[in-house]
Amino acid sequence: MPDNTQAVMDSVSRFLDRQHGLYIDGQWCESSADDRLAVYNPADGQQISSTADANAQDVARAVQSAHKAFTTGAWAQRLPAERERILLRYADLVEQHAEELAQLETLEQGKSINIARAFEVGCTLNWMRYTAGLATKIVGQTLDVSIPMPPGAKYQVYTRKEPIGVVAGIVPWNFPLMIGMWKVMPALAAGCSIVIKPSETTPLTLLRMAELATEAGVPPGVFNVVTGRGTGCGKALTEHPLIAKVSFTGSTPVGKSIARSAADRLTRVTLELGGKNPAIVLKDADPQQVIEGLMMGSFLNQGQVCAASSRIYIEAPIYDRLVAGFEQAVKSLSVGPGMDATAQINPLVSRDHRNKVAAYLDDARSKHAELISGAAGPDAQGFYIPPTLVINPDDKLNLTREEVFGRWSI
């Protein structure tokens, strides 16, 4: 923990106590809608803050602000070296607030404070500094023409890379700070403006990041954040006619819908969607190495990772030995709130998601799958599911075929 522990806690508390609006044009503003969205601490189920539930009118205001900033050249026409300097200053400012951001992330998402510090903040800082440097590395090509020309004539073709315009970024709830900045930083380095919509479950850290961007010198309108539900706010953002590119990370069904909508308008789109990832263990593998690796691969961030090893296939000669090893490992895991740095397993992100994962496990149990579970959570009001192994399940179970985002492995 840092030496300024109380100062950080006070800063986090003040931020949580705000009546959070939207961050548009470099400042906080109210939503035109009256609805609010509660933000909960997954460790105990208590509300810790709230944000605006933006509507289409709010989204249009944010996109217009981003478009104005782009067309006036406030950012896009800055010298690349200036953009680089401002973005490096931004990274330095984020580093100064690293512990505050890590605690906010743990309180709203539920993950271990260790993961929040290392992944959400640590990896994000590395990414910010790397992409800041790309602002001065964006280059085109010059090519000699290869078609016949009149004697004495010489022609060349050149390419020039230019910022595309206003980018819409839709961010999931599992790694909101890190994945959010995966979208923000390349856009800013290229000279684009961006409107980010975090998950309504985990909106706080990206609101804070937008505020810090303004403090670092990013011009108003270049980095905007709208909060709200995907069906309203998210849909309005991805379908706005001034959006030049959509970057979406989330579920496959929603990604398909965004791709269809983008195709109608010929809007560029990048999709990072779900997965159902198998680990295949051969008989000559080292059992201890396999167990250690797959415990990390299966239970990191409570299994709420698109690359989680949610299926494990083991060759028969070592099957029993590995299952026994996994059972011992699962039962030894300590379960607790994310702010407890000694806890190895933490709550799931929300009550709805906890209930969804529990339904998958209940379905498997009702169809005679063998379940081996570890410790339960310390708070009955928290969004806990025990770390669980599902042994030799039927391949037709929903749990074996669908991405669940829960802390179990089969």
Q: Tens digit of pLDDT for each residue in 290-318?
A: 999 999 999 999 999 988 888 999 999 99
How many Cα atoms are found within 13 Å in the side-chain-facing hemisphere of 238?
29
272 noted as active-site residue: yes
Domain 5-142+154-272 belongs to what topology? Aldehyde Dehydrogenase; Chain A, domain 1 (3.40.605)
Place 393 in a pLDDT band, splitting at 50, 70 and 90: confident
Q: Name, of 56-60, 142-146, 361-365, the range with top average pLDDT.
A: 56-60
- CA–CA distance from 332 to each of 2, 122, 323, 345, 384 (Å)? 29, 28, 14, 11, 16
In this prediction, residues 49-57 reach a mean pLDDT of 97
| Alpha helices in 159-222, H assignment, sequence order | 176-190, 204-216
For the chain, report the end-to-end CA distance as a whole number of angstroms. Answer: 36
Q: What is the mean pLDDT of the chain?
A: 94
CA distance 170 to 258: 11
Region of 143 please: left (phi>0), alpha (psi -120 to 50) or beta: beta
| Range with the poorest average pLDDT among 62-66, 242-246, 297-301 | 297-301
The 10s digit of each residue's pLDDT in 189-234 is 999 999 999 999 999 999 999 999 999 999 999 999 999 999 999 9
How confident is the model at residue 3, as a pLDDT? 54
Residue from 248, 360, 253 nearest 303 by CA: 360
Per-residue model confidence (pLDDT) at position 155: 86
On whether the pTM is more than 0.85, the answer is yes
Spell out a b/e string for 29-49, using b for 16 or more CB atoms within 10 Å of the CB, else e: bebebeeebebbbbbbbeebb
Longest dimension (CA), the chain: 85
Per-residue confidence band for 147, with pLDDT thresholds at 50, 70 and 90:
confident
Which of 384-388's residues contact partners 24+ apart within 8 Å by CB, and which partners?
384/335, 384/347, 384/348, 384/354, 385/302, 385/348, 385/354, 385/357, 385/358, 385/361, 386/335, 387/299, 387/330, 387/333, 387/335, 387/345, 388/330, 388/361
pLDDT at 2 exceeding the cut of 80: no
Tell me the backbone φ, ψ of residue 248, rounded to 5 degrees: -125, 135
Query: Predicted confidence band at 22 (pLDDT cuts at 50, 70, 90)?
Result: very high
Q: Looking at the predicted structure, is the pLDDT value of residue 1 above 80?
A: no
The pLDDT assigned to 408 comes to 61
Q: Give the least confident one: 75-79, 147-151, 252-256, 357-361.
A: 147-151
Q: What's the CATH class of domain 283-409?
A: alpha beta
Answer yes or no: are the C-beta atoms of 124 and 102 closer than 8 Å. Answer: no
Joined tokens for residue 317: 């000669």
Tell me which of 3-12, 270-279, 338-347 is least confident: 3-12
Instruction: Choose, from 95, 272, 327, 403, the residue flagged as catalytic.
Output: 272
H or E stretch including 81?
helix 80-96
Residue 123 has what DSSP assignment? I
Intervals of CATH 3.40.605.10 along the chain: 5-142+154-272
Distance of alpha carbon 387 from alpha carbon 305, whole angstroms: 15
- What's the pLDDT score for residue 145? 86
Stretch 50-55: mean pLDDT, rounded?
Answer: 97
Token pair 């205001």 is found at 61
Confidence of residue 409 (pLDDT cuts 50, 70, 90): low
Residue 379 has pLDDT above 90, yes or no: no
Residue 152: pLDDT band by 50, 70, 90 thresholds?
Answer: confident
Could you tell me which residue, 121 or 155, shows the higher pLDDT? 121
User: With bands split at pLDDT 50, 70 and 90, how would you rate the model's confidence at 20?
Assistant: very high
Query: What stretch(es) of the chain map to CATH 3.40.309.10?
Result: 283-409
**In 3D, which of 306, 247, 298 has the Cα closest to residue 274?**
306
* pLDDT higher than 80, residue 4: no
Best CA proximity match to 20, nearest among 38, 41, 40, 46: 38
Count of CB atoms situated within 10 Å of the CB of 230: 17
Q: Is the dihedral of CA 171, 28, 167, 158 positive or negative?
A: negative
Q: Output the CA torsion 178→180→183→188 (10° steps).
A: -100
Least confident of 128-132, 253-257, 377-381: 377-381
Query: What is d(CA 100, CA 25) in angstroms, rounded to the nearest whole number?
Result: 24
- Which of the 8 DSSP states describes residue 50? E
Confidence class for position 407, pLDDT limits 50, 70, 90: low
- Angle at the Cα of 231 from the Cα atoms of 183 and 191, rounded to 5 degrees: 25
How far lies 71's CA from each of 222, 225, 374, in Å? 11, 19, 56
